[in-house]
Amino acid sequence: MENEYTILGERMKRTDSLAKVTGAATFTADIKLPRMLSAKVLRSPHAHARILNIDTGRAEKLPGVKAVVTAADAHGVKWGVFKYTQDHPMLAMDKVRYIGEDVAGVAAVDEETALRALDLITVEYEPLPAVFNPDDAMAEGAPLIHEEYANNINIHVHIDVGDVDAAFNQAHLVREDTFEAAGEAYSTLEPYAVVASYANGFLDLWMPNAGPHVRAKALSNMLKMPLNKVRVRHINVGGHFGARSEVSPGDLVAALLSIKTGRPVKLALTREENAACTRQIHDIKATIKTGVKKDGTITAKDFRVTYDGGAYSSTGPIATSIPYYVYEEAYRFPNVRYNGYRVITNKGIRGMYGAHGRAFLCGNEVQLDMIAQELGMDPMEIRLKNGLKVGEETATKSVIISGGLEAPIRQAAEKARWAKKRIGLPEGEGIGMGCVAIMCGFPMGFRSGSTCYVKINDDGQATIVSGIVDTGMGNESMAVQIASEVLGIPPEDINLVNADTEVTNLDPGAYSQAASFVGGNAVKRACEEAKRQILTLAAAKMDHAMEDLTIKDRTIVSRTDPSKRMPLRWVVREAFFKGEPIAATGAYMPKISFDREWIKNPQGQMAGTYSFGCSIAEVTVDRETGKICIPRFTAAHDCGNPINTMAVEGQIEGSIQQAGVAVLTEENRWSDGWLLNPDLLEYKVPLACDMPEIDTVIVRSNDPEGPFGAKEGGLTTRMNAYSAVACAAHSALGVPLKQLPLTPDRVLKALDKAKGGDA
Amino acid sequence: MISSEFKYICPKSIEEALERFGEFQGEAVYLSGGTDLVPRMKLGLKKPRAVIDLKDVASMSTVAEEGDYIRIGSLAQLFQLKQTDLVSNRFPALAASLEATSCETLQVRGTIGGNLLQNTRCLFYNQSEFWRRSKGFCLKMGGEKCNAVPGAKKCFANYTSDNAPALCTLQAEVAFAGPNGSRRFKLESLYTGRSDDPFDLEPGEILTDIFVPNKTVAGGYEKLRVRGAVDYPLLGVAFSRGSDSGRLAVGAVGPRPYTVELNEPAQDAMGEAVATVINQVKTVENTVLESAYRKRMIPVLAERLIKKVMEGAE
Ligand SMILES: Cc1cc2nc3c(=O)[nH]c(=O)nc-3n(C[C@H](O)[C@H](O)[C@H](O)COP(=O)(O)OP(=O)(O)OC[C@H]3O[C@@H](n4cnc5c(N)ncnc54)[C@H](O)[C@@H]3O)c2cc1C
């Protein structure tokens, strides 16, 4: 296809690549400020205990210690994304609820002194009985971790559409299966760090974050400071995947210490602290009941899903809902009931995850294959039959405006030669398909939209100011590429100022897949307005019809007569003379239903648009050792239209690793409340040598709302790659694997169980 | 960060190293590549008053033929060793185990001596001081109980050297220099059989060389691990076959490698020999794969390996 654009869709070298590969990029832990102190945190050694007394006196007297803070220094404001989930004090008040919970913070002249001071703080605890999994936590008589959550049930999401029971009664075939998956670690390469600097009544903060505005708001609440006095600054972020969405206990600790000392304070967590004391991923158990007609049409779904929520609410209602939504966004469910329970346990705090929900999503897809098998259908056909199409509504009333499941399925199948490979597979080999669709953005009230300012400088270069956040995926580069396309100037002429609460305006942040679709749209609109201003002036100056003018390579040029041209900077200077410098604002608010609420009103338009994807994994399974290998992987992702083709491919490839290969290896392992693998040695992130050969397929649906037709750049793979692998293993073994990750010991157990006649 | 304070010493000879060790009355440690020691110091598992770096003791890194033996200096780097013809041509079992050791980045740093003398590992032991203090110290830390097996009065940490089993099948010997003179003995005699204190050594003894009988033996190594690199073995099986007999050694499932001799390594004798090993092994839930699974894989890997080696040798 001829590219109608200059740079859009090109394999542009990302604007951040060079600094990152050479090590020149700075991250929070690299920041050095004059008079900066080092902080350390005293953590709870108990999974559940009442705090009777904290004595910091001896620590305060240690030479070199400048301040010690506890909950007594905070303002008693608890954090929660929603009013009804505010339960996390961030510095423990009356109780500790997990091992590693923040109890006190110390700021000292160096890290060694701060560490020594921790030993001098005495905390008297009264240990309380603890619970470590949702089943125990919900049991009659289980210890209550928070007074306000009966049976330790933190969140109950209930969705009920149609008449599920009647549909099951009429179904040709009904299956019910339970799948379980251990929780994962985000394994961001950058361990958490925060620098707080309080001076003249202003608090400046740097930390890996996915949304500076929501972070500043949370901290202004907790610190009881006016929002404009809390400024979250731009800094490079070494990975996010959901881990950096929310305010972190360390933010509060560092902020309080800086306020107390009047000096900048840096708190840099260890790898272990990052794993055990920042956010983790939910362990999930999903019971899935599906009814189908004889031809494979899904008529009813009934889900009961429990999420091990750890000690506090976090993004509770969202985390409890998302796995369901990304599935109903892919398939047609005329009758569906979803009961999602998020249960509090005495384990680390949990959050959203890019590959969230693997027990639920793998479970659904594996079960779909089991159903297809019973009906004698090709797994591809049953997916095509039930996949949503443009113009249709999801079960909870979101309209699909572009894409649909069919194109990614067909394009992946063609690339992987599905039809040919599926029949006559040798013993021990399997091929499987996983599908999902994903919202680009979701309702976040007035923060759902994004704004961009652009000014054209006197040298013809542009400065764009956007709330877009880049946590490693290339969002900054995306904004520059869009601006470059619209303004007709090369990327190196564009200066991006972003993700700084003092300078930039609201933006939904680097979650909910909104950066290109929402933030990119705002950049495009601002630049288009600037372009209009430029061309208006140019038309007058060149005495030429404005409609025939455009900007290419820093030059205003006639579309019909290329000899008619004028350097952009002449026009810009003219604008300054006239006292009307080129400056523009652009904003985009997605068309979503703001009446939607995760628990009270789970229906209406969830997002402006949806991306669709299909992954196909080819596996070999060793029946004696239980080891699964993935020699080949094909992923098709409908991103609408790629802004940077290479970046989209990169996202897809990373997703194959983080979901597809990780489903063989990754899990947080626990001994009661102790995390057994808080490191990168025993937490098994797949390595380069574990990766399959990859084919990526970029599906184009040219979204009517997205900037240049773009949606989001690769998340469907992150939420269906594991399903493809689990389905492929099922196809190789003829036995469904219901416990994730698919480590070889689990695979053999499943085979043994099947041999025993009990699948 | 290493939070304990220590003195760093870099002696030029074995004699000097021994002397400096003596000055610290058992509170010094030797350092080769540091890839086992440094992580343990970071976790506070070892808090020596002095670290004695052996890197300048030049005599300890050579590989050479010496009569009936190949002498491998204990400081020989793993990466270099696996590319040495003397090793790759004559001892395929060792070449394979070297190749399977961690990853190339670590092979470049790690030495064969440090590999043999690496400490035993357990998911409940190789943890930070905060972690271990909150859990309560285990037997290997001088505590009263085993954290991996509640109620156990014995430590179950695993000796996870990839190369020790291979060297056992090659009947390697190890030579030490110590405050009370030098000695040389079979590698198999290095081990106490106790996970909490795995080596039968006098304080201050330095491993100087490894001697491998100088004859070509067919062999191989099979390693069980979750990922294709970096990971320590969850089970390692080495096999070497001379002209009339073979030896099988199983590692990473206890405090030492378990070695058995197979006089006639034909298929039927094998089962019995493998059974002898399995009977000695007690795996517990202290690694990332289930203990029963690791044990179950012993005969699977052993049979595959023996078959492969025998077929290759024919
Ligand atoms: C991420 C990671 C993965 C690893 N994976 C593996 C693996 O797969 N397989 C494996 O076998 N190992 C593995 N290791 C362990 C280690 O890298 C190797 O065993 C390496 O060979 C150790 O050698 P070194 O020279 O670095 O030992 P060092 O750390 O220097 O020493 C190890 C121990 O031996 C003592 N010591 C060293 N030299 C002497 C000497 N000459 N005389 C007396 N005492 C001495 C030291 O005091 C220390 O107690 C891994 C390590 C890491 C960090």
Residues of A with CB under 8 A from a CB of B: 43, 45-46, 99-100, 111-112, 115, 270, 272, 624-626, 665, 669, 671, 674, 676-678, 681-682, 684, 686-687, 689-690, 743-745, 748
Q: How many residues does chain B have?
A: 314
Any domain includes B243: yes
* Chain-centre distance for alpha carbon A517: 15
Which 3 state secondary structure label does DSSP give B102? Answer: coil
Take residue A678 and report the two structure tokens written for it.
């808080």
> What is the total count of domains within chain B?
2
If asked whether residues A497 and A555 sit together in one domain, one would say yes
CA atoms within 13 A on the CB side of A361: 36
B297 at interface of A, judged by CB pairs closer than 8 A: yes
Which 3 state secondary structure label does DSSP give A437? Answer: strand
Q: d(Cα A457, Cα A400) in Å, to the nearest integer?
A: 41
If asked whether residues A626 and A486 sit together in one domain, one would say no
Residue B225 sits in a domain whose CATH number is: 3.30.465.10
Any domain includes B141: no
Any domain includes A574: yes
Any domain includes A154: no
Instruction: Evaluate the CA torsion angle A673, A674, A676, A677 in order and state its sign.
Output: positive
Any domain includes B132: no
Candidate of B2, B20, B81, B118 to mutate for ligand 1, largest count of ligand atoms within 8 Å of Cβ: B118
Residue A456 sits in a domain whose CATH number is: 3.30.365.10
Take residue A475 and report the two structure tokens written for it.
């969002």
Q: Which residue has the tokens 């997002």?
A: A607
CB pairs under 8 A between A and B: 70
Residue B52 sits in a domain whose CATH number is: 3.30.43.10
> What is the total count of domains within chain A?
3
Binned at pLDDT 50, 70 and 90, residue B263 comes out as: confident
Any domain includes B27: yes
Reply yes or no on whether the pLDDT at B314 is more than 70. no
If asked whether residues B173 and B295 sit together in one domain, one would say yes
For ligand 1, the distance from its centroid to the CA atom of residue B114, given in whole angstroms, is 4
Closest Cβ opposite residue A684 in set B1, B288, B301: B288
* Chain-centre distance for alpha carbon A91: 25
Any domain includes B142: no
Give, using CA atoms, the residue closest to atom 36 of ligand 1: B114
Residues B189-224: tens digit of each pLDDT = 999 999 999 999 999 999 999 999 999 999 999 999
Burial of B268 (0-12, 13-18, 19+ CB in 10 A): exposed
Q: Does B173 or B312 have the greater pLDDT score?
A: B173
Q: d(Cα A8, Cα A445) in Å, to the nearest integer?
A: 31
**The pLDDT of residue A572:** 97
If asked whether residues A562 and A584 sit together in one domain, one would say yes
If asked whether residues A408 and A461 sit together in one domain, one would say no
**The pLDDT of residue A757:** 59
Q: Which residue has the tokens 């004595």?
A: A55
**CA distance readout (Å), B196 to B43, B141, B146, B233, B255:** 17, 8, 10, 19, 8
ipTM of this model?
Answer: 0.96
Any domain includes A184: no
If asked whether residues B27 and B64 sit together in one domain, one would say no
Any domain includes A178: no
Q: d(Cα A217, Cα A446) in Å, to the nearest integer?
A: 13
Would the CB of B221 count as within 6 Å of ligand 1? no
If asked whether residues B103 and B222 sit together in one domain, one would say yes
Any domain includes A92: yes
Q: Which of A268, A300, A334 lies at the terminal end of a domain, its last residue?
A: A268
Q: Are A686 and B297 a contacting pair at CB < 8 A?
A: no
Residues B113-157: tens digit of each pLDDT = 999 999 999 999 999 999 999 999 999 999 999 999 999 999 999
**Structural domain containing residue B285:** 58-117+157-313
If asked whether residues B42 and B63 sit together in one domain, one would say no
If asked whether residues A517 and A644 sit together in one domain, one would say no
If asked whether residues A437 and A354 sit together in one domain, one would say yes
If asked whether residues B14 and B110 sit together in one domain, one would say no
Any domain includes B143: no
Q: Are B124 and A676 a contacting pair at CB < 8 A?
A: yes
Any domain includes A180: no
If asked whether residues A604 and A567 sit together in one domain, one would say no
Any domain includes B39: yes
Q: Are A558 and A564 in contact (CB under 8 A)?
A: yes
If asked whether residues A407 and A421 sit together in one domain, one would say yes
Amino acid at A265: V
Exposure class string for A683-700: b at 16+ Cβ within 10 A, else e: bbbbbeebbbebebbbbb
Please name which of B14, B21, B103 lies closest in space to residue B61, comparing C-alpha atoms. B14
Exposure class string for B51-90: b at 16+ Cβ within 10 A, else e: bbebeebeebbebeeeeebbbbbbbbbbbbbbebebbbeb
Closest Cβ opposite residue B128 in set A272, A682, A745: A272
If asked whether residues A652 and A743 sit together in one domain, one would say yes
Q: d(Cα A178, Cα A285) in Å, to the nearest integer?
A: 7
Q: d(Cα A710, Cα A515) in Å, to the nearest integer?
A: 10
Roughly what angle, to the nearest 10 degrees, separates helices A379-386 and A358-375?
110
If asked whether residues B301 and B196 sit together in one domain, one would say yes
Residues of chain A with pLDDT below 50 are 1-2, 758-759
Stretch B176-188: mean pLDDT, rounded?
Answer: 97
Q: Which residue has the tokens 């392992």?
A: A669
If asked whether residues B31 and B66 sit together in one domain, one would say no
Q: Which of B15, B41, B56 lies at the terminal end of a domain, its last residue?
A: B56
If asked whether residues B185 and B293 sit together in one domain, one would say yes
Q: Which of B56, B73, B103 lies at the terminal end of a domain, its last residue?
A: B56
B289 at interface of A, judged by CB pairs closer than 8 A: yes
Q: d(Cα B214, Cα B71) in Å, to the nearest integer?
A: 9
**The pLDDT of residue B273:** 84
Which 3 state secondary structure label does DSSP give A158? Answer: strand
Helix (H) or strand (E) holding A370: helix A358-375
If asked whether residues B4 and B92 sit together in one domain, one would say no
pTM over 0.90? The answer is yes
Residues A178-230: tens digit of each pLDDT = 999 999 999 999 999 999 999 999 999 999 999 999 999 999 999 999 999 99
End-to-end CA distance of chain B: 53
Any domain includes A279: no
Residue A200 sits in a domain whose CATH number is: 3.90.1170.50
Would the CB of B106 count as within 6 Å of ligand 1? yes
B124 at interface of A, judged by CB pairs closer than 8 A: yes
Which 3 state secondary structure label does DSSP give A199? Answer: strand
Which 3 state secondary structure label does DSSP give A160? Answer: strand
Q: Are B3 and A112 a contacting pair at CB < 8 A?
A: yes
Q: Are A728 and A430 in contact (CB under 8 A)?
A: yes
Q: Are B227 and A270 a contacting pair at CB < 8 A?
A: no
Any domain includes A325: yes
Q: Which of A588, A620, A646 lies at the terminal end of a domain, its last residue?
A: A588
If asked whether residues A197 and A79 sit together in one domain, one would say yes
Q: d(Cα A542, Cα A566) in Å, to the nearest integer?
A: 8
Q: Are B301 and B253 in contact (CB under 8 A)?
A: no
Reply yes or no on whether the pLDDT at B3 is more than 90. no
| Strand-pair partners of A543 | none
Q: d(Cα A590, Cα A592) in Å, to the nearest integer?
A: 6
Which 3 state secondary structure label does DSSP give A444? Answer: strand
If asked whether residues A513 and A400 sit together in one domain, one would say no
Q: Which of A268, A301, A323 lies at the terminal end of a domain, its last residue?
A: A268
If asked whether residues B169 and B182 sit together in one domain, one would say yes
Candidate of B117, B174, B205 to mutate for ligand 1, largest count of ligand atoms within 8 Å of Cβ: B117
Q: d(Cα B196, Cα B232) in Å, to the nearest integer?
A: 18
Stretch B48-67: mean pLDDT, rounded?
Answer: 93
Binned at pLDDT 50, 70 and 90, residue B312 comes out as: confident
Please name which of A739, A683, A564 lies closest in space to residue B288, comparing C-alpha atoms. A683
Describe the strand order of the beta sheet including A429-439 as a list of residue ranges. Answer: A429-439, A610-621, A628-640, A693-700
If asked whether residues A228 and A366 sit together in one domain, one would say no
Take residue A270 and report the two structure tokens written for it.
């260890």
Reply yes or no on whether the pLDDT at B63 is more than 70. yes
Q: Which residue has the tokens 């010997």?
A: B173
Any domain includes B137: no
**Structural domain containing residue A37:** 31-128+193-268
If asked whether residues B39 and B89 sit together in one domain, one would say no
Q: Are B130 and A45 a contacting pair at CB < 8 A?
A: yes
Would the CB of B232 count as within 6 Å of ligand 1? yes
**The pLDDT of residue A1:** 43
Would the CB of B206 count as within 6 Å of ligand 1? yes
Q: Are A684 and B147 a contacting pair at CB < 8 A?
A: no
Closest Cβ opposite residue A674 in set B135, B226, B296: B135
Take residue A336 and report the two structure tokens written for it.
């569906």
**The pLDDT of residue B1:** 85
Residues of chain A neighbouring B290 (CB-CB closer than 8 A): 745
If asked whether residues B197 and B279 sit together in one domain, one would say yes
